[in-house]
Amino acid sequence: MRKIGIIGLGHVGATIAYTLVTKGIADELVIIDTNDEKTTAEEYDLRDTLARLDTFTKIIPQDYDSLSNADVVITAFGNIDSIKMDGDRFGELNFNAEAVEEVAANLRTSGFNGVLINISNPCDVITTLLQQQTGLSKNQVFGTGTFLDTARMQRAVGQALHEDPKNISGYVLGEHGESQYTAWSTVEVKGHPIIKLAEEKGLDLTSLDQQARRGGWLVFSGKHYTCYAIATCAIKLTQAVLSDAHLACPTSVYLEEYDHYIGYPAVIGRKGIVEVNSITLSIEEKAQLDNSAKIIKEKLNK
């Protein structure tokens, strides 16, 4: 039996719930939000889909105790009204840091001992706080982090080269925020280093890096939230846990060197983080990672 919990039913949490149910990924789905009416609305909207699906999912609303035997809990709480149109994901920090206390306490009381995947922003800071306050191991807790930003880089490079983004490999590293960066030394297009292709085709890598960084705000400025891409990332990570896929991807993972979570390659399996996938970076790229870690640490210290 595959049991998944979602805490926070805003645009992202609701999209994840819909996808889990319609794709038949969850046998049981626990949905929780501070707004009872919103939870009831999502519950019955999901229930009303079941007669037209080929699969069945048991929907369980507002019940932390039901998470005691959940395989995965996805945290997607937040206050979108606190985000300004300035590209700063730290706008939700105060609200979400307070929410962590309540969520973590309820998870501890429930006896949950599965894998926790955090989406709530600022992702690296909130993931760090959730790990500390739930008492779950650092392997059991990770965040979506730069998994989404890497997809945005793949989209930008794919558009520039008229390639399917799945043919682009490599990593965006660091904070899921303004100090993130594309580690171009890791990026390849169908196995060919992009640095060489950029020279041949006159690609502006600085511009492409900026497109990846600002991709979320392009969406946010038009509809005042994002949901599809981040929900897809959360679903893929959840499936990697459920199937013990040993998926190699960038995520918000704890690095001993910095003593907090940050976007970096890892391997995802049944118990969460199977291993941190250490990669070789250029001197400049390592300095960028150090700088991004410093910014996350400053926010944590606040």
The tokens for 251 are 């995520």
Tell me whether residue 33 is annotated as binding: yes
Please report the beta strands in the chain, taking only residues with DSSP state E, as ranges in sequence order.
Answer: 3-7, 28-32, 58-61, 72-75, 115-118, 141-143, 168-173, 181-189, 192-193, 247-255, 260-269, 272-276
Tell me whether residue 8 is annotated as binding: yes
Tell me whether residue 121 is annotated as binding: yes
* Residue 246 designated active-site: no
Nearest alpha carbon to residue 110 among 39, 60, 42: 60
Tell me whether residue 167 is annotated as binding: no
Nearest alpha carbon to residue 121 among 129, 110, 132: 129
Q: Which residue carries 């707004």 as its tokens?
A: 35
Tell me whether residue 113 is annotated as binding: no
- Check if the beta carbon of residue 65 is closer than 8 Å to that of residue 35: no
Tell me whether residue 191 is annotated as binding: no
Residue among 162, 176, 224, 260 flagged as catalytic: 176
Tell me whether residue 9 is annotated as binding: yes
Tell me whether residue 170 is annotated as binding: no
Tell me whether residue 10 is annotated as binding: yes
Tell me whether residue 65 is annotated as binding: no
Nearest alpha carbon to residue 2 among 93, 114, 111, 81: 114
Residue 247 neighbours by CB under 8 Å, 6+ apart: 236, 237, 240, 267, 268, 269
The binding site consists of 8-13, 33, 96, 119-121
Active-site positions read: 176
The binding site for NAD(+) consists of 8-13, 33, 96, 119-121
